[in-house]
Structure 1
Amino acid sequence: MASSGVINAIRSAILLLALVIFLGNIMMWIIMPTDTYYTIWVPHLMAATNSSFFGIQGPIMMDFTFPILLIAVLGCFYLHLGKKENAVTKSSSKARSLRLMRRPMIVKGLGIVTLTEIALFTMFIALCAWYFGGYVRHWFEQVYQRSLSKHEQVWQTKLDRVGIVTGVTGNLCLTFLFYPVTRGSSILPMLGLTSEASIKYHIWLGNLAMALFTVHGSIYFLYWIITHRLSEALKWGDNYVSNVAGEMSLLCGLAMWITSYPKIRRKMFELFLYTHYLYIFFMIFFIWHIGIGFACIMLPGFYLFLMDRYLRFLQSRNKARLVSARLLSCDIIELNFFKSRALSYNPTSTIFINVPSISKLQWHPFTIISNSNLEPQKLSVLIKCEGNWTRSLYDMLSSPSPLDRLEAAVEGPYGPAATHFLRHDTLVMISGGSGITPFISIIRELIFINSTLKCKTPKIMLISSFKNSSHLSILDLILPTSSTSNSCKLDLQVEAYVTREKGQLKEQIPKHRTIWFKPESCDIPISPTLGPNSWLCLAAIISSSFAIYLVLFGFFTQYVVYPVDQNINVFFSYTKKGSASMLFLCFSMVVAASTAFLWNKKCNADEAKQVQDMDESGSSGSTSNSSFDQDDVEMESLPLQSMIKSVNVHYGQRPNLKRILLEIKESSVGALVSGPKKMREEVAAICSSGQADNLEFESISFTW
């Protein structure tokens, strides 16, 4: 207990330090548009960072890049220490007092949001407004002198200044754009967030950034037309802002923005996916447009994203060891992978899967239903046939001639750093169709806590809606296949609703079909990319790669850029400087991340070799698959009623969610919903109505 108290104290101190650094970073955003920043702060920062070694980029990196990377490193230590913390925690009075801040609201255009999200979004809009207004005031003070020097009217010069301020404000949105899509980030889980649940923030910021950049470009085209300087649009300013690079960046951004429109994204997902790869060219042209010095303002988020993207690339080069596939009667596939015992993940985690024989570029996320504690060598996901990719996979597996092997690659798993389901007295899990998958992982985690840790778990009511009775076969997957489940005393009640059938059909539901694969020697178990101490390894990668970048860019500035810039009216090429900086950035990340990845891969090679030896020493049925064979036998023989309190199937009706939720009288009730948008909004409306103060809403759906 004493050790746990010390760890909690250290984590609290780290969290407090990260908060102070972040508030200091926000303060720099507030001060930046003022005269104080340029007349007082910048000269001192230039002297502190050695202007001949880093140039103007030095103070910008000190103000905006270094603090965020330091927060990311602190987050790694915070999460590493969190692994040792006991996850079995009950609801505290402090957590219950914050229930109001987590109460859901339905806002048109934003969807389901909490009061905390509304407050933070409002503060960000206020920061953008302050940033815009501050720069307008700052540059309007010089508008008369500039209009005389450019031989134009004052209102035309003001239009020019408003145009540039709009672009600068868009850069503020771009600064935060990449944090929500950095899957392996240490910043999001430190705040209790996941990348999947934060996608909506990426959408908000992307819409706002592209709106500002579009206005920025439109204003400048208008300005060039009314001042008869349309030829400016074709100039590549090598020593200043490059208009052509900005236009190319804007075109790439518009292509991504248009294809992100919900109707286009859902109907033509491949078009949306492939168009989004234009972010590479968008960022390259953006840096060429504004110069690397000013780009350092948005560098930390993009830096962490690139780091994560490269680590994902390294992991995806490995061929995952796919053991079997189970075809359910409702066009649902269960894929079973072999995993390393060192790989652990929390409930509701997701993993991205790629099948090269279908598409080499498409990666699709799926919720993991297995439990890393109960099933230490098995990782299972459920895949529902809803699109072209999933339908192609189902057709491939259900063909009359069974496959001997299916090549697959994975990225992840990704999920919450901790779970807090035990803080509730009752959990009401509401799902629609395949939305039940995250709840299967939660139930299996609670089984582990109840049976192995001997801790009291909350009552569970699972409310699942299905279109027809064939989908009831999903309920067979609720219970884990380990023997631990037999001794579990979980208070679990299942209410299943079949909405499109009036009564139980007489014909028997077809049994599951299992396909076994013969892995090759190149197939390896899914293991942690950076080893068991992945957060410490990530902290080392971030620190070492940024140090390498600073050294390389510092010497480049000192011995290549500075000798040119110190001459009067002579400046080193912005394009060459930006290109060199991007090259150094990528080189430093590749060196640091590759070294760490290869080292951990070498450490994992022993376990992969043991699995391969087991296969070679086994008979026609692979020895390493014996546990999976036994699991299937147990799945067929274990009755669903053995542990579940009651299973009620209702035909031809939908659940009365309002009545069910309001009838529960326990002091703390977690209302977890995963399913269609209308279902999520209905549950959110009930929880926010104020008719019951004991309800706490949480959406676990990953559809966006």
Structure 2
Amino acid sequence: MASSSTVVSAVIGAILVLALVVFLGNIMMWIIMPTDTYYNDWLLHILADTNSTFFGIQGPIMLDFTFPILFIAVLGCLYLHLGKKRSTSFIESKRVQTFKFMRRPMIVKGLGIVNLTELALLTMFIALCVWYFADYVRHWYKQVPVLSMTRREKVWQTKLDRVAIVTGVTGNLCLTFLFYPVTRGSSILPMLGLTSEASIKYHIWLGNLAMALFTAHGFLYILYWSITNRLSEMLKWGDHYISNIAGEISLLCGLALWITTYPTIRRKMFELFFYTHYLYIFFIIFFILHIGIGFACIMLPGFYLFIIDRYLRFLQSRQNVRLVSARLLPCDTIELNFSKSRGLKYNPTSTIFINVPAISKLQWHPFTITSNSNLEPERLSVVIKCEGSWTQKLHDMISSPSSIDRLQVSVEGPYGPASTHFLRHDALVMISGGSGITPFISIIRELLFISSTLKCKTPKIMLITVFKNSSHLSILDLILPTSGTPSNSGNLDLQIEAYVTREKGQSKDKLQSPRTVWFKPDASDAPISPTLGPNSWLWLAAIISSSFIIFLVLLGVFTQYVVYPIDQNTNKLYSYTKKGSMNMLFICFSIMIAASAAFLWNKKQNAKEAKQIQDMEESVTSRSTSNSSFDQDDVEMESLPLQSTIKSINVHYGQRPNLKRMLSEMKDSSVGALVSGPKEMRQDVAAICSSGLADNLHFESISFTW
């Protein structure tokens, strides 16, 4: 057994090394691309060695920039599959915290909470952009004397044209990395220890930088055409070169999308922000038609992986899931309980996106999963706090006296970290504000399972939670599941410090008891199952590989028998617009074929288990709905394991926690400081952990608001 684990660990290490080597080679291509060495030496050899009538000039570009990233994505799938087989997320060793200073949080104005590693990587990326811009300007300035004479314009005017085009080319560098952070089912992010939720800030940084460069690119060209009396260029669609109209349409879509991301607009008019973000489809389509598919292959791999992920999400979202029950808490909070297959495994702090067509067919909202796939193998739960129009409508629908028997719901996910690292610490301090407690519920349930079932030592836990009023204390009843709680749950060392800020003492009004609403799902509703089955990473690797092979075959046939015969005629070239359109069609077709085949195969495998779960739930639901005293019994049953698990619970009224004092009093050698809540709370904890007053604190922010 040990030797087998050693072999798997060695293979995983080799995969990481290979992926790193390929990535560094890809970065080297970016660095060398603007130089004379690339154009005068490398490019000539590449074109000579890859001279093919099947792919043309597009072939070497895909070989240099598209294939390496897709290869890394496949390696990432293998890495994650083997990592899942090697060990589960809860068996971890306490590793020495090396280079801790690189992970120490800092608050940077305009960027938020970042650590030194993130700041260093951002600095290196900006340096790459500066290098890319400067060396391209130097390279293309050599063409200025000849171009200015040919165009019969002044030298400075031609230089303005060169700067304008280089600005757009540098924007393409930002666009290349833009879609990786928003690929929820990415196999690349987990290799770096990241999740899509934690990487959203990188998407924001890249998006702002890309749009700033593209806007400058468009403005400089309008200025250039104005001073050279060639504004008519704005109305040209170059069918065999750059298409100006396509670029202008793409820029307008990007500007509309960019403007609505302004924090004030995003928060106050979320639906406007949400719907305008779909303009990315038109932005990319017209961007490709603007520059041509050959150059677009540089940014293609990130978008290619995003399309695969987006189509798999689309397939999953077409299925209605089985919503079994909803528990209504007195603090305008709902716990939704879904049926799930036993094969669906997820780690603590995972999220799921929920859509309720009765409220909005287009809106999808992320919520943290509070249930544990080990303690509750056939149930998945989320907690929803009424904090907006969508959540309020959902609460009103469920809590109305004439409650509906069935609520149509679709989901996407779950998405979460590939592994967790909570056992690396001697103690955990979880600090939450309001609904920010939900990810900590999933962590506590995981540690409860580890301590009781696996007999592993778990860190002691202090939960510091801040609520506005005492009715929100009812959320603490959700810490333990209603079923599946181990009898020896008292092994968990859990202390809760609850702060109620807007009340001076315990309310004299009797709080309304939680109420459970049972639903009668339709026969077509299915339990939440893994989209690609238990071996999802292997299936994703097969989808990436097979779809790209199908695309290459279609592209080769198309180029050989359609494009090449026309391009051979020196007086006529095949339309860039048609070539770009056909390439986009081939990519979409290839992904649809590969992903649909994998999805349908796994859907058939899930159907058998779904039938068994449905039969069992129908009998349970019928018994529960006939028991009029269920709600009160449910509350009484929960209180017993809750009292035995929590070592102490203190409620403080009319005050806020002194986080600096409480964190500094933690004397354990390694303390994980986890915070989930408002921006100000996250920044306060980050400032404490970065102050150097306590070197044993390891900061981690769990945030789903940006």
Q: Is the 8 A contact 2:480 2:638 kept in 1?
A: no
Q: Which amino acid aligns with 1:329?
A: P
- Aligned to 1:53, the other structure's residue is in SS state coil
Quote how far apart the aligned CAs of 1:174 are.
Answer: 0.2
| 1:597-633 CA distance string (max 9 Å, x none) | 00000011101122333456678347999xx999946
Aligned length: 701
| 1:314-358 CA distance string (max 9 Å, x none) | 000000110001111001110000000000000000000000000
Q: What residue is the counterpart of 1:92 in the other structure?
A: 95
Q: What residue is the counterpart of 1:383 in the other structure?
A: 384
Compared with structure 1, are the counterparts of its residues 247 and 16 closer, same or farther at alpha carbon in structure 2 (3 Å cutoff)? Answer: same
Q: Is the 8 A contact 1:451 1:484 kept in 2?
A: no
- Aligned to 1:460, the other structure's residue is in SS state strand
Q: Is the 8 A contact 1:316 1:410 kept in 2?
A: yes
Q: Which amino acid aligns with 2:365?
A: H
Compared with structure 1, are the counterparts of its residues 437 and 618 closer, same or farther at alpha carbon in structure 2 (3 Å cutoff)? Answer: closer
| 1:83-108 CA distance string (max 9 Å, x none) | 12333113212xx1132111000000
Give, in whole Å, the separation in 2 of the partners of 1:47 and 1:598: 43
Does 1:63 pair with 2:55? no
Give, in whole Å, the separation in 2 of the partners of 1:71 and 1:179: 13
Give, in whole Å, the separation in 1 of the partners of 2:621 and 2:253: 55
Q: What residue is the counterpart of 1:332 in the other structure?
A: 333
Q: Is the 8 A contact 2:515 2:631 kept in 1?
A: no
Give, in whole Å, the separation in 1 of the partners of 2:406 and 2:492: 38
Compared with structure 1, are the counterparts of its residues 486 and 577 closer, same or farther at alpha carbon in structure 2 (3 Å cutoff)? Answer: same
Give, in whole Å, the separation in 2 of the partners of 1:284 and 1:621: 54
Q: What residue is the counterpart of 1:672 in the other structure?
A: 674
- Aligned to 2:308, the other structure's residue is in SS state helix
| 1:158-193 CA distance string (max 9 Å, x none) | 000000000000000000000000000000011100
Aligned ranges 1:475-490 → 2 under 5 Å: 475-488=476-489, 489-490=491-492
Quote how far apart the aligned CAs of 1:566 are.
Answer: 2.0
Q: Is the 8 A contact 2:324 2:520 kept in 1?
A: yes
Give, in whole Å, the separation in 2 of the partners of 1:38 and 1:578: 24
Compared with structure 1, are the counterparts of its residues 167 and 113 closer, same or farther at alpha carbon in structure 2 (3 Å cutoff)? Answer: same
Quote how far apart the aligned CAs of 1:700 are.
Answer: 0.7
Q: Is the 8 A contact 1:641 1:647 kept in 2?
A: no
Give, in whole Å, the separation in 2 of the partners of 1:623 and 1:35: 76
Q: What residue is the counterpart of 1:441 in the other structure?
A: 442
Give, in whole Å, the separation in 1 of the partners of 2:343 and 2:520: 23
Q: What residue is the counterpart of 1:555 in the other structure?
A: 557
Give, in whole Å, the separation in 1 of the partners of 2:173 and 2:10: 34
Give, in whole Å, the separation in 2 of the partners of 1:615 and 1:702: 32
Q: What residue is the counterpart of 2:519 in the other structure?
A: 517
Q: What residue is the counterpart of 1:586 in the other structure?
A: 588
- Please identify, of 692-701 and 479-488, the stretch whose mean Cα deviation from structure 2 is larger: 479-488
Q: Which amino acid aligns with 1:658?
A: K
Q: Is the 8 A contact 1:353 1:365 kept in 2?
A: yes
Give, in whole Å, the separation in 1 of the partners of 2:204 and 2:619: 52
Q: Is the 8 A contact 1:429 1:460 kept in 2?
A: yes
Quote how far apart the aligned CAs of 1:555 are.
Answer: 1.0
Give, in whole Å, the separation in 1 of the partners of 2:633 and 2:312: 33
Q: Is the 8 A contact 2:355 2:364 kept in 1?
A: yes
Q: Which amino acid aligns with 1:134?
A: D
Compared with structure 1, are the counterparts of its residues 630 and 100 closer, same or farther at alpha carbon in structure 2 (3 Å cutoff)? Answer: farther
- Aligned to 2:646, the other structure's residue is in SS state coil
Give, in whole Å, the separation in 1 of the partners of 2:118 and 2:209: 16
Q: What residue is the counterpart of 1:322 in the other structure?
A: 323
Aligned ranges 1:42-81 → 2 under 5 Å: 42-81=43-82
Does 1:158 pair with 2:178? no
Quote how far apart the aligned CAs of 1:508 are.
Answer: 1.6
Q: Is the 8 A contact 2:485 2:641 kept in 1?
A: no
Give, in whole Å, the separation in 2 of the partners of 1:464 and 1:134: 53
Q: What residue is the counterpart of 2:409 in the other structure?
A: 408
Q: Which amino acid aligns with 2:92?
A: T
Q: What residue is the counterpart of 2:602 in the other structure?
A: 600
| 1:351-373 CA distance string (max 9 Å, x none) | 00000000000000000000000
Quote how far apart the aligned CAs of 1:634 are.
Answer: 6.5
- Aligned to 1:270, the other structure's residue is in SS state helix
Aligned ranges 1:453-602 → 2 under 5 Å: 453-488=454-489, 489-602=491-604
| 1:418-466 CA distance string (max 9 Å, x none) | 0000000010000000000000000000011111110000010000000
Quote how far apart the aligned CAs of 1:642 are.
Answer: 1.2
Aligned ranges 1:174-189 → 2 under 5 Å: 174-189=175-190
Give, in whole Å, the separation in 2 of the partners of 1:636 and 1:447: 15
Give, in whole Å, the separation in 2 of the partners of 1:415 and 1:342: 16
Give, in whole Å, the separation in 1 of the partners of 2:300 and 2:235: 27
Q: What residue is the counterpart of 1:695 in the other structure?
A: 697
Give, in whole Å, the separation in 1 of the partners of 2:509 and 2:625: 37
Q: What residue is the counterpart of 2:665 in the other structure?
A: 663
Give, in whole Å, the separation in 1 of the partners of 2:454 and 2:641: 24
Q: Is the 8 A contact 1:470 1:509 kept in 2?
A: yes
Q: Which amino acid aligns with 2:117?
A: T
Q: What residue is the counterpart of 2:240 in the other structure?
A: 239
Unaligned runs of 5+ in 1: none
Quote how far apart the aligned CAs of 1:50 are.
Answer: 3.5
- Aligned to 1:486, the other structure's residue is in SS state coil
Compared with structure 1, are the counterparts of its residues 690 and 510 closer, same or farther at alpha carbon in structure 2 (3 Å cutoff)? Answer: same
Give, in whole Å, the separation in 1 of the partners of 2:621 and 2:638: 24
Does 1:278 pair with 2:279? yes
Give, in whole Å, the separation in 2 of the partners of 1:312 and 1:253: 24
Q: Is the 8 A contact 1:369 1:437 kept in 2?
A: yes
Does 1:206 pair with 2:204? no
Q: What residue is the counterpart of 1:649 in the other structure?
A: 651
Q: What residue is the counterpart of 1:114 in the other structure?
A: 115
Give, in whole Å, the separation in 2 of the partners of 1:109 and 1:69: 33
Q: Is the 8 A contact 1:224 1:232 kept in 2?
A: yes
Give, in whole Å, the separation in 2 of the partners of 1:243 and 1:197: 37
Q: Which amino acid aligns with 1:596?
A: A
Q: Which amino acid aligns with 1:183?
A: R
Give, in whole Å, the separation in 2 of the partners of 1:111 and 1:505: 37
| 1:41-94 CA distance string (max 9 Å, x none) | 22322233333111111111011100000000000000001112333113212x
Q: Which amino acid aligns with 2:338?
A: F
- Aligned to 2:54, the other structure's residue is in SS state helix
Give, in whole Å, the separation in 2 of the partners of 1:463 and 1:437: 13
Compared with structure 1, are the counterparts of its residues 318 and 138 closer, same or farther at alpha carbon in structure 2 (3 Å cutoff)? Answer: same
Name the Cα RMSD after superposition. Answer: 1.7
Q: What residue is the counterpart of 1:426 in the other structure?
A: 427
* TM-score, scaled relative to structure 1: 0.97
Q: What residue is the counterpart of 2:262 in the other structure?
A: 261
Give, in whole Å, the separation in 1 of the partners of 2:626 and 2:347: 24
- Aligned to 1:9, the other structure's residue is in SS state helix
| 1:229-250 CA distance string (max 9 Å, x none) | 0000000000000000000000
Q: Which amino acid aligns with 1:589?
A: I
Q: What residue is the counterpart of 2:395 in the other structure?
A: 394
Q: Which amino acid aligns with 2:680?
A: K
Give, in whole Å, the separation in 2 of the partners of 1:617 and 1:468: 39
Q: Is the 8 A contact 1:611 1:624 kept in 2?
A: no
* TM-score, scaled relative to structure 2: 0.97
Compared with structure 1, are the counterparts of its residues 21 and 2 closer, same or farther at alpha carbon in structure 2 (3 Å cutoff)? Answer: same
- Aligned to 1:320, the other structure's residue is in SS state coil
| 1:178-237 CA distance string (max 9 Å, x none) | 000000000001110000010000000000000000000000000000000000000000
